[in-house]
Amino acid sequence: MFELHPGQCGLLLYVADALAAAFVVPHPEDYRLLHPTLVEDLYGEPVHQYARYGAPVPEFTARIRDGAGGVRSLGDLRAAALEQERAWAAAHDGLMARDLLETPYAFERVQRMDGFDLHRFVPPFERGGREQHIGEVITDRKGRAAYLKTFRLSENQIRKGYLLNRLADCDWHLGRTAEALGTSYAEVVRRVRSAGLGALLDAHVVARRIRVHPDG
């Protein structure tokens, strides 16, 4: 996502095989101070999801061939180890971290100080099962990340974000939102309430509309 400074400390945090967060700080000492914030973050949904699986997540292992055509010297061993590192990096970036790295985010700069910019970013809230993260990043004048923190959204949070985006696109008009979603007014009201956003609704207006147009 961003170019890092030499000497920075970066971490990808997994719950089993689910990427829960990405974390970058300027120096290992900063990480030691901020480590408790990672431990205390809420990763309840991935933990619950993987706790329900019947079998444990397989451990990662690297295998280096020996014997004929394999490792015969320290040089061969070093080359084989480097090849395993490249293969693991390719597999990780292409599979386990693909959604984090390839998602088109919407960035908003919220503060600038001494040549550094603080941005917050959100995903497109697309439906379809892909993992999506929200987060914040501090960048320097060259656009390099001095600090980065992401948090993986649950499916419920993605659905809520999707609904809020559709409402915002339609100027928070329930009728136009229903048309855009290809559904009824009453169904949009149900989704808003189901998402825990019922406080956004004017109960009297909704009740009158549904009473007058019970089928739409």
Domain total of the chain: 2
**In the structure, how many helices (H) and strands (E) does the chain have?**
8, 6
How is 123-180 classified by DSSP, letter by letter? Answer: ----SSS---EEEEEEE-TTS-EEEEEEEEPPHHHHHHHHHHHHHHHTTT-HHHHHHH
Domain boundary residue, one of 104, 135, 152: 152
- Residue labelled with tokens 């408790």: 36
The Cα 18–Cα 131 span in angstroms is 9
**Predicted confidence (pLDDT) per residue in 158-203, tens digit:** 999 999 999 999 999 999 999 999 999 999 999 999 988 888 888 8
Q: Does residue 72 sit within a domain?
A: no
Q: CA angle at residue 132 from 99 to 17, to 5 degrees?
A: 65
pLDDT in tens, 93-149: 766 778 888 889 999 999 999 999 999 999 999 877 788 999 999 998 888 888 999
- How far is 63 from 66, CA to CA, in rounded Å? 9
- Are 28 and 107 found together in one domain? yes
The tokens of 126 are what? 């697309």
Domain of 49, in residue numbers: 9-62+93-152
Verify that 131 and 184 share a domain, yes or no: no
Is residue 38 located within the same domain as residue 100? yes
